[in-house]
Amino acid sequence: MTTAMPSREQIANAADLDFDAKRSDKDVSICIEASPAGVTVRVDYIGTLGSIPAAVERLRSAGILDLVSAARPATATAPLGGTPARTPTQRVEPVYQPDGSACCPVHKRVLKEGKYGLYCSAKDRETDEYCNLKFKD
Ligand SMILES: [Zn+2]
């Protein structure tokens, strides 16, 4: 009887892989890196994999992780939907409909949420170009 798959019995009799036991006994080179933009804290040491949680906890209790998160860019905590402006652009206040949807004050069209913020999808009758107004979110 030949079968490619190991039988249940073979699996039961096979030596345990036991990843944790084998690896945690062996010292390895460990690098813990906490790196939001701006600050990079890198910790290299020799130890067991099982020691990583304790090492991270030591960094935390030493205030290192607080330091790192304090250096996190403000955009990370910006409200959802807030798109950082790449270039200073003159932005106009959209007009709001009773149902709360934002509209282009020129074309009275409901604004759409685009990659760079709200935009008006209307085409100008006179210039035949799309509305190029930028809106405040
Ligand atoms: Zn418009």
C-alpha 49: how far from chain center:
26
pLDDT in tens, 81-95: 555 555 566 789 999
Q: What pLDDT does 98 receive? A: 92
Rounded CA-CA distance 101/112 in Å is 10
Average pLDDT for the chain: 77
What one-letter code names the amino acid at 16?
A: D
Residue 18's pLDDT band (cuts 50, 70, 90):
low
Residue 110 clears pLDDT 90, i.e. is over it = yes
Cα of 104 to ligand 1 centre, how many Å? 5
Is the pLDDT reported for residue 51 higher than 90?
no
Percentage of residues in the chain having pLDDT higher than 70: 71
Q: CA dist 46 to 22, 62, 125, Å?
A: 16, 19, 70
More confident residue, 4 or 47: 47
Q: For position 128, what pLDDT does the model report?
A: 86
Which position has the higher pLDDT, 39 or 2?
Answer: 39
Q: Determine the distance separating the centroid of ligand 1 and the alpha carbon of 87, expressed in angstroms.
A: 20
What spacing in Å lies between the alpha carbon of 97 and ligand 1's midpoint?
A: 15
CA of 101 to the centre of ligand 1 (A): 14
Question: 79: CA distance to ligand 1 center in Å?
Answer: 25
Checking if the pLDDT of 112 tops 90, the result is yes
Distances from the Cα of 71 to the Cαs of 31, 40, 42, 76, 136, in angstroms? 21, 10, 15, 11, 27
119 C-alpha to ligand 1 centroid (Å): 8
